[in-house]
Amino acid sequence: MTTWYNGIITKIEDVSPTTKRFWLEVEGVERFDFKAGQFITMDLPIGERRNQRWRSYSIASAANGTNVLELCIVHLDGGLASGYLFNETSIGSSIKFKGPDGAFILPEKIENELVMVCTGTGVAPFRSMILEILDKKIPHKGIHLIFGTRTSDGILYQNEFEALVQKMPSFRYSIALSREEKEGCHHGYVHEIYLKNYEEKRPDVTFYLCGWTQMVDEAVANLLVKMGYGREQVKYELYG
């Protein structure tokens, strides 16, 4: 039986011209348990039918035993759900949701290097995974986060990840900007970074992909067909 929860928005923060962070406090529970990488599905008052009202968003916060969740959401042009969340909610607003759901999670034992490739808010589940590994001191072989966006004002959690590079020797962080040249960033797309860094096929690496369908489809084709990695080495989550 599906359990529905009520979440109260306790904080909203602008992080880019098109993206906000939302914090939800889940009513009626002291802790909301989930696995890093999972998502919740909101039932929003934006239509009559279920497929009009339901929208899923990855949890960006760590699974830290509290009843507060962080979501990182982009405002899409013409998007009913993001339009409602950005323009009609505020601190104190109530959100009905179910979950957590999803199998896009870390393995029980991390035996390979993790290469996390994402664009935009596709970084959300990876932030949760990275915090999980860091907070719980989970043994791992290394993490390479490859983040892509159009321009530098769309870089999400940049200060946090750059600080993590100094704190966590096993963590690497690469940024691709497709429409802007900036020192320290790759000018182009995320594909060019993993194609160069992992050109020589390795059995000890697992790729996690999250973002819009076009990016993920291209990355899957590159990794499996062009680079020859095994299907078991490529995990992905689609956003649309």
The model's pLDDT over 65-106, given as tens digits with 9 standing for 90+, comes to: 999 999 999 999 999 999 999 999 999 999 999 999 999 999
pLDDT of residue 51: 87
Are the C-beta atoms of residues 168 and 145 closer than 8 Å to each other? no
Are the C-beta atoms of residues 93 and 9 closer than 8 Å to each other? yes
pLDDT of residue 1: 80
Average pLDDT over residues 23-49: 97
* Residue at token pair 């104190």: 92
pLDDT of residue 200: 96
Domain boundaries, the chain: 4-101, 113-238
pTM score: 0.97
pLDDT of residue 16: 94
Are the C-beta atoms of residues 5 and 100 closer than 8 Å to each other? no
pLDDT tens profile 130-184: 999 999 999 999 999 999 999 999 999 999 999 999 999 999 999 999 999 999 9
pLDDT of residue 238: 86
Q: Is the pLDDT of residue 229 over 70?
A: yes
Query: To the nearest whole number, what is the mean pLDDT of the chain?
Result: 96
Q: Which residues of 204-215 are buried (b: 16+ CB within 10 A; e: fewer)?
A: ebbbbbbbeeeb
Average pLDDT over residues 55-70: 96
Homologous superfamily in CATH for domain 4-101: Translation factors (2.40.30.10)
Share of the chain above pLDDT 90, in %: 96
Identify the CA nearest to 211 among candidates 146, 153, 159, 161.
146
pLDDT of residue 9: 98
pLDDT tens profile 43-53: 999 999 988 99
For residue 146, which amino acid is it? Answer: I
CATH 3.40.50.80 fits 113-238, yes or no: yes
Q: Is the pLDDT of residue 240 over 70?
A: no
pLDDT tens profile 195-226: 999 999 999 999 999 999 999 999 999 999 99
